[in-house]
Every structure is written in structure tokens, then in C-alpha cells.
């Protein structure tokens, strides 16, 4: 890789890392190509990306971003997983790490906050942004459905009374 290619990689990584919500750093030594492909596929379906780059280039790309605190984690065979949704990348990475012991989470960053491995794991346990949105919509819709039930209840009570009188006369 010559200097211009390295510069392009650093620039592309810097742009990505400056815009992401979360970055997860992990060791991947010993993972098979099939396992790494599955990780990439799972991450892509969750809205994230997995990138393997030279540690020196990643450290250069981290300069000037909020995630610059994770530069010290870039030692050995590392990969980075990132996503705009602060929960997506940690969720996929932790789930993958549970099934593959060769994939070890070192830490990460959420904005300017540097996370250790436990922090990434606890972040993965939180509900995703879509789950939070759906529960919020459910909470907003609940009063409307309760009002509709209350308004329909007197009519339903009358119908039950008329049905009881009808059954009484038929007997």
C-alpha cells in the first residue's frame, strides 16, 4: 500500500468515525473467514459495519474525532465495528462474541465516552432505538385506546342487558 492509498484509507476512516454513534474494538485472531463473513453480514443487517485496517492507520484516523480515546486499544489483530445507532454495533458484537471465543471485545467509544469491555456489554443490553420508538408509540397510543374503550362501554352494557332480557323471554 503506497502513501496515497494510506492517505485515502485514513481520510475515509476519519469521516466514518467522526459520524458514527458508537465504535467497538475487538481482537479477531483465529477467526475463520466464514465466521468473519457472518459477523460482517450480521453487522450490516443491523445497520453497522466491520472494518479491519492497520492499527497505525486507525490511530491516525481517530485523531480529531470524539472516539480518539480508543487509540490505545489498537494493538494486535484488531477490528472495529461501528454504527450510527448507539446500540446496534455493541449488540451484534456481544452476541457474536458469545458464540465465538476467538472474538474478544476490548472496548469502544460512544461519542467522547470511552467504554471498556463491560461498558460495551452493558450498552448491548439496552433496547435498540427501534424498540424504544415502538414502546414510545405504544405509550402514546394507550390513552386513545382507553378513551375509545370507555366510550364504547355504555353501548356494550346496553347490548348485554337487551341480550339478557331476550334470553329471559325466550326461556
Question: How far is it, in rounded angstroms, from Cα 90 to Cα 119?
Answer: 10
Adjacency order of strands within the sheet including 22-27: 48-51, 78-83, 22-27, 104-110, 113-116
What are the pLDDT tens digits along the chain (171 aa)?
788 888 998 999 999 888 888 999 999 998 999 999 999 999 999 899 999 989 999 999 988 888 888 889 899 899 999 998 888 899 999 999 999 989 999 999 988 889 898 999 998 888 877 788 888 888 787 777 777 777 777 777 777 777 887 787 776
Q: pTM here? A: 0.72
pLDDT of residue 79: 93
Class of domain 3-126: alpha beta
Amino acid at each position: 500500500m503506497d502513501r496515497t492509498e494510506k492517505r485515502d484509507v485514513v481520510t475515509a476512516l476519519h469521516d466514518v468515525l467522526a459520524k458514527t454513534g458508537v465504535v467497538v474494538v475487538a481482537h479477531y485472531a483465529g477467526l475463520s473467514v466464514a465466521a468473519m463473513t457472518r459477523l460482517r453480514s450480521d453487522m450490516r443487517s443491523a445497520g453497522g459495519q466491520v472494518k479491519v485496517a492497520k492499527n497505525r492507520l486507525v490511530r491516525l484516523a481517530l485523531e480529531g474525532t470524539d472516539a480518539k480515546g480508543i487509540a490505545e486499544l489498537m494493538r494486535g489483530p484488531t477490528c472495529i465495528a461501528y454504527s450510527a445507532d448507539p446500540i446496534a454495533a455493541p449488540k451484534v458484537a456481544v452476541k457474536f462474541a458469545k458464540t465465538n471465543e476467538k472474538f474478544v471485545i476490548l472496548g469502544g467509544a460512544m461519542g467522547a465516552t470511552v467504554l471498556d469491555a463491560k461498558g460495551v456489554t452493558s450498552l448491548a443490553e439496552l433496547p435498540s432505538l427501534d424498540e424504544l420508538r415502538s414502546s414510545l408509540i405504544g405509550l402514546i397510543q394507550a390513552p386513545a385506546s382507553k378513551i375509545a374503550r370507555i366510550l364504547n362501554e355504555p353501548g356494550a352494557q346496553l347490548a348485554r342487558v337487551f341480550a339478557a332480557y331476550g334470553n329471559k323471554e325466550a326461556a
